[in-house]
Amino acid sequence: MLHPPLKVIALALLRVSGVSFAYDHKLVLDDISFQVSSNDFIGIIGPNGSGKSTLLKNLNRILSYQEGRVELDGVELSKIPYQQLACRMAYVGQDTQVTFAFSVEDVVLMGRHPHIRRFKGEGVSDWQVVRRVMEATRIAHLASRRITELSGGERQRVLLAKALAQEPDVLLLDEPTSHLDINHQLEFFDLLQELNTQQGLTVITVLHDLNLAALYCKKLLLLDQGSIFAFGNADEVLTRENIRAVYNTDVEIYQHPVNHRPQVMLLPKQRYRKVIGAQKDPQGDCLGCQTSPGECPGP
């Protein structure tokens, strides 16, 4: 159930210890350990193939890790029945394709599935929840439309509404805005932030966009080839050195003018590298000169 934030010492809501996971003998996650406290807003970042989505799916029994433990409130995941888990954790996956033409309100109502008893139907209270979340995600006007007719951004909000209809304590999202325009991206994350600060929802989201992650997330988990490279708040994790080590590229970090979060500035190879100090290759040649001989200012 959602509850207002409490000023108590945050206890570990979700504890991940020594988790390793392999798809068919290919190791994707290696000895992952970290803790999530109630009301956290965590962004999981890292290059493609670093195991971000896989880690997320190991947190709600979509995938089953082979080693280690994941505990929700001290209880190991595999000991929690699927239905009970779904009343506490909701998940919005990356793949938003729905091939069957359900109406929007039917899809959102499916979010109530874990709460509806098998031989009862949905009740008045279920529909109230559906209406509430549809208003929060601003899709109330789409209620009777077929989900197959909606645009990507609208569909994403429907899936978010469905997840919120589960009334979870923890919301897991896998790259929820990668294909959306910037205005919709901000709208989506503003909504998540509102849910996090005003209703105590714990959010764990996989993100591709480092700047978006730094802007909204209280903590960042940087993955590199299946292991945790760094875990902490944005200033600790988003550093030039970390990005160079994990992404193998040079960037500049600046402070966001409004909320002072670290933001990544990309550095195209030509023209800008020598401004900060050209890299030298093993032979001692200035790499800047090798790329644009006419513009080298000298060693």
Partner 1 sequence: MLVALLIIGVFVTTIGPASISIKNAFRIIASRVPRLGAKVVKDWPKSHEVIVLKVRLPRVLVGIVVGAGLSIAGVSFQGLFKNPMADPYVIGISAGASFGATLAIVLKIGSPFPGIGGVPLCAFVGALVTSFAVYNIARVGRKVPVDTLLLSGIAVGSLLSALVSLLMILNSKDLYQILYWGMGSLALANYHDLLLSIPYIVLGMTITLIYSRDLNVLMLGEEAAISLGVNVEKLKRILLIAGSLTVAAAVSVSGIIGFVGLIVPHIARLIVGPDHRILLPTATLGGAMFLVISDTVARTVAPPTEIPVGVVTAIFGAPFFLYLLRKRKQQIM
Toward partner 1, which CB reaches closer, 15 or 88? Answer: 88
- Binding characters for partner 1, 66-95, by CB under 8 A (x = yes): ---------------xxxxxxx-xxx-x-x
Residue type, 107: V
Burial of residue 83 (CB within 10 Å: 0-12, 13-18, 19+) is exposed
Smallest Cα–Cα separation from 173: which of 187, 194, 192, 150? Answer: 192
DSSP 54: H
Burial of residue 87 (CB within 10 Å: 0-12, 13-18, 19+) is middle
DSSP string over 235-262: HHHS-HHHHHHHH---EEEEE-TTT--E
Within 10 angstroms of residue 121's Cβ, the number of other Cβ atoms is: 7
**Using CA atoms in the order 66, 81, 156, 136, what is the torsion angle rounded to 10 degrees?**
-140
Toward partner 1, which CB reaches closer, 163 or 251? Answer: 163
Smallest distance, Å, CB 60 to partner 1? 6
201 near partner 1, judged by CB under 8 A: no
Please state, in angstroms and as integers, the Cα–Cα distance from residue 258 to each residue in 2, 226, 261, 263, following that order: 30, 34, 8, 11
Toward partner 1, which CB reaches closer, 44 or 86? Answer: 86
* Residue count (the chain): 299
Which pair of tokens denotes residue 272? Answer: 């800008």
44 near partner 1, judged by CB under 8 A: no
61 near partner 1, judged by CB under 8 A: yes
Burial of residue 140 (CB within 10 Å: 0-12, 13-18, 19+) is middle
Toward partner 1, which CB reaches closer, 63 or 287? Answer: 63
Judged by CB under 8 A, which of 34, 102, 127, 229 binds partner 1? 102
Smallest distance, Å, CB 86 to partner 1? 3
* Residue labelled with tokens 């899709």: 139
Smallest Cα–Cα separation from 242: which of 164, 28, 232? Answer: 232
Site for partner 1 in 167-196 (CB under 8 A): 172
With contacts defined by CB under 8 A, name the span among 1-9, 59-67, 276-284, 286-294 that binds partner 1.
59-67
Toward partner 1, which CB reaches closer, 172 or 264? Answer: 172
With contacts defined by CB under 8 A, name the span among 66-74, 111-119, 228-236, 253-261 that binds partner 1.
111-119
Which pair of tokens denotes residue 243? Answer: 């990005």
Toward partner 1, which CB reaches closer, 19 or 163? Answer: 163
Q: How far apart are CA 167 and CA 79, in angstroms?
A: 21
Judged by CB under 8 A, which of 22, 27, 116, 267 binds partner 1? 116
Judged by CB under 8 A, which of 2, 11, 75, 101 binds partner 1? 101
Size, binding site for partner 1 by CB under 8 A = 32
156 near partner 1, judged by CB under 8 A: no
Judged by CB under 8 A, which of 111, 176, 262, 288 binds partner 1? 111
Site for partner 1 in 117-136 (CB under 8 A): 118
Smallest distance, Å, CB 72 to partner 1? 14
Which residues make up the interface to partner 1 (CB under 8 A)?
57, 60-62, 81-87, 89-91, 93, 95, 98-102, 106-107, 110-111, 113-114, 116, 118, 163, 166, 172
